[in-house]
Structure formats: structure tokens, C-alpha cells
Structure 1
């Protein structure tokens, strides 16, 4: 397998020709490739992340004779990004060092961004810095968010810091929002703090406005559980103070940091003075940086039709909604209801009869009908030579012969 993948990666012409049709398979192969050839796995991941598909023609999505489906080449290439994100937890388990390098590539800042000496990071001889970049949730197919959670969980499981991983993160991860996502993803601040303690040493993660709150939780967890770290953590806070002074940081941020320390073990006159100045109420608590407030509501196909100005009778809407909800339950894979409670055949027949009154039938409702028919074609209660069986076969045949089948709606 390694030799075949290496030949593929070295053949730019083949990659350009096959594009996403081989990249998705390549993404799935990374988990097996990582333990035996980590360098090759990293190269493969880099190709997946950087491949630029310029062709937009459609290619087959499935080989179904009844209902052929298509996707564009760009969607096909994008699916390899999605597959990589879904596999990232397994990649971390297979080779954490290589996975950390891939995470740095996913979160990389634009190449024109210069280094930021205002927020320096260091680990041994490795020097790095923090800047500003896109939040991982905005990356394609949310791969940044998935990778941050997977890597954070893997770091939390470490018994001690991993020098190779820390060297990669400190030296190559400049995106402060990626650091924030990585740190905030863990529900075990102490163990993640142990793994990332050397990265906290410069004080930049504690002082930077993006990573301050998440890093402060690590500081508080370490301080509360490990008295032996008191002097080291105190020095880190003092370095964070220096960075805050140099970059116009607030006294509030400083007070939050000193409040994370075990006040009975603080020896610095500067920090002791701040503890005393905060009064009987003590320093302010850690608060997350403000995030945009997002509201949402359930959106159905009928909402989309209404926005297009298409009016659907209430009886048709009710039947369609019931069919859509039941179909979602059945296709979700976790339907544990007894058979007599599974109403898809009945709801399909009711909706199908009402859909016949719509002329023309909107594409969204036609799609819902086909999806329900395809699901029922695997239902043991639907048999040939019955009205329902014949109707389902008719819908599937009609869909397969339609010139619109396989094209995307809208």
C-alpha cells in the first residue's frame, strides 16, 4: 500500500486527472498508513488539504441502476477533506506527532502573515508566536473543529508532555484561535494543562486576548492540584503580566490570572499586592471571551418553498412533514421502535396521494417521495405484486428515467 500511495503522490498528472476520486480513498487509508509510514501519511494529508480542483463537471456519485446520482468534481475533492476530519481521532491514536503536524497545516495562517514578536512562544530551542486567524469551525467541513477536539483529547490522555508534539505546536501553530479551540475542547483542564505546561511557560497563551480564558482554566487546574508547581506557575503569571503591559492588556486580565494561583503559596510581592488590592471578594473569575450569539430554528423543506413563493396546501404540508420526520427516524439508524409503531408505509401512502394533487410537484417534494420509496424498497413489509410495492417500483423507475435525476436542487 505504501509503495502505491508514494507513486500516486509523485505523479502530479495522475492526481490532477483523478482528483477527488482517489483523494477520498487516500484519506481513509491514512489511519492504516500512519503507524508504518508517518512521513508518507503526512505528505498524503498535505495533498488532501491543498489539492485545488478547478474542474466543475459532474461525475457519478453512485452506480445505482435505479437511481443514479452525481456530484461535481469539486464536491468529490471536498469529500476527502470531510473524510480526513472524521478520521482525525484515529489518526491521533495512530501517531500523535504526525497528527499534530497535520493540525498545524489545517490551522495555518495566510503565508503573507509576518511573525508577531508581541506574543512569543518558546519550548527549548523552538521559538514561535501567536497571531490572529480564522476560527477552526469556519474551515471546510469543520475539519479544524473536529481536529482540535481529537487532538485535545489525545493530549489529555498523555502522562507527560510530548516533546515532539510541543515542538510542532509551539513552532508552527501561530493561529491563536486554533490554540483556543485546542485548549477549550478538553473537559479535563488539569491533564491537558500537564501536557501543555511547557507551552504556557512564556505567558503568551495566558495573556493573548483570544487564548486567555481557556489557558487560565489550565492554570487554575494545575495550581489547585499540584502545589509543587506553585513557583513555576507564579513565574509564568509574571511573564504574562509583562506581555500584558507591553501590549496594553487590562488590569482585569491580570487579576484573573493571579486569582488562578493558590494564594497561600504566592511569594511574589507584586502578586501578593494584587491579591490584597482585590479586597475581600478576591480576584474576578475566569470568563470566556464574548462569542457571537447564534439563534436557530428548525428549517424544513416547506420553509424553503415558502421563501420561493410556492404555496402548498396545509393538508399536503402536514402529510409531507409527517413523512419527512418518520423518514428521518428510520434512516437515522437508531430506530428501536417495535414494528407496529413504524408508520413509514402508511405515511408514505398518505403523502403520495396528496402529492398527486400538486401540479407541478415541487422538486423538493419529489425528492422526499423518492427517498421514502427507496427506503421502503428495503422494508420487509413491502412486497412485489401489491399496490404499495408496485407504486414504489413505479416511482423508482420513473426517477431513474428522469433527466433531472442526479442533479442538485436549486
Structure 2
């Protein structure tokens, strides 16, 4: 990849890497900077589930490791954009009424105003990921907390330049491979705030809480209709007698929709795994204000201390520091220490050849060549004299 050769300083040098030396520092993304733009594109490719195109407001936080000898590699990043205007499970969790067009008789001006006020204080976390070897040290878990810090608030202020009272009160994210994801679990506010910040109701003491479908409510699922091949869509056009080329390339699924309807097949045939929606908030009263569309009082806008967050994070792979006292019980302490040691050792042993994403392309090419050779060998055996 061109990015990897153009920006080698982004990647960890494993011969010099020391987990005990890690010092995460944040940098606010400048979306007009070509280097930052290239980094964000690369990180988006690193996610196993790609994110949608960023729309509306945008903010990003790059996490750099300033503690390594001779270089400052990138740990990872949190990239956020405007939240979706409507999202059934999220909206229901805040008690927002369904939204209707102004031309509808069901349109409610007051309900629309509440929604707009809440969305103005909310962002959608599109990317929270970490590069090797920091991914082995729960680097994405750290990135998911970055928006809740003072630097995160400053990034939000820059993203909403015309907002007279910017306040990032909530972060929403969707997990595409299941109902939950490791970056959004186990952010215990008791530890992260030294008991100075209360958790939102229903979060069970965590920063992020999964929004669960109500009784009788449909679950949110991933859909794979977008993976239908061009050939399949062309056949769908033929099936319906649609002249090829009459369907706009900007709406490639239209032909499939027609074909499925003609055949009496429901779109659920493309339904995949259940997905999860998670909402991150700080403070007991935050949900109440978002539900009502009212601003939080200036003295009720808690932020996490980055130093404390880092101290809690490093407990996952280093001995306990003074900044984050031990929380494991005596009975589980030995198990916790073994888990820390394993993460530490796995990160240190990570091969330099696999730090960059391009190694996956090389492995894929190698597997393809091996499979071709095997197939050729079988063909020779079955077509012998």
C-alpha cells in the first residue's frame, strides 16, 4: 500500500517497542490536512466491518505513543460524525417520538425540536480501532473513551463551530459483528473517575450501555444484500425484462428489489447477525436532558481525566500503578496478573512483518497460489494416461 511506504513513522518498530514505556497522547484531527486524511482512510480499512461515509459534523482523535524510543507510533484513533437523524432503538431509549415529514398529518413540531436538540449534543462513533501491537493491548478500548475527555470536548467544539453552547453529551456507536464489541465493554466509571462521576441510569456502572430491543420489537440485523454480484443484479434485470443500463449505477440494488418482489422473496433472506447499538454517557442526569431536549447545566458536564483513563488502561497489561489502584479481589488477583502478563508478552512478541495491513494481501496471494497449485495437481492426477 502506498500509505505504508509514504508514512512509515506511523507504525511501531517492534525491535524497540516496550509496553512499559507507552505514553498515549491525543491529537485532534485536521480534516484539511492530507496526512491526517490519509491516516483516517488507512484506519477505516483496518476495521473488520467498514464504516459508512462520514456525514455532517466530523471530529477525530489520533492517539500517539510518545513514550517509545526513537519513534512516535500511532496507537489508534476515534473518528466520529453526525448521528443518524432517525435510529429506532436509539430514539426509543431516549423516549423520542417517531419523526414524520412536515407534510404528514402526524408531524409534531415539539417532538422534532426535542430530537434536534438532542442530536446537536451527540456524535456517532464510526471508527474506534488500534494498530498492531496496540490492538493486542486493548487500544480500541482506550480510543472509545477519548471523546469523553477535555480534548474530546475541544474537538467537538471545533466540529460545531456555529454552535453557541457546544456540549458533547453522548456518543452512539453500532457494532456490526454482534450485539457487543470489546471496545465498548468494561469502562467502569468507578475506576475511570475515581468515584467522582456517576454513571447514567441503566448503564450498570459503565460508560457505554447497549440499547436492547423492547419486548415485541424487531432486532437490528446486518444485511448482506450489498454483496450481491454484478452478475446477479444483471440476471435480476433480465428476469424482469428491464433493459440493461436503465437502472442508475447510483442505485445498484433497485434491480434486486424488483426481482425479489417478483419472486415473492422477502428482503430478510439477506439478514445476517444481530447488531448492537451502544450509547456512551457520563453523569446521572445526562439521559434526562437528552430525552427532554434541554442543555445540561455547565456544572453538570463531567469529563474524564485522560491521565486516569490511561492509568486504568495500562492495568490491562502492566502491574498496577499508583494512578489506578488494584481492583481485583485477592481470590482473582493471580488470574488478573496472568492475563496482564499474557497481553504484555503477546504484544512484545508480535512480528514486525505483520504490523502493516499489507501483510494480509501477501498472505491472501500466497494462499491463492497454493490453492491453484493444489487444484492443478489434482487435475494432472485425474487426467493421466
TM-score class, shorter: under 0.3
Bigger share in strand: 2
Higher relative contact order (CA 8 A, sep 6+): 2
Q: What's the TM-score once normalised by structure 2's chain length?
A: 0.26
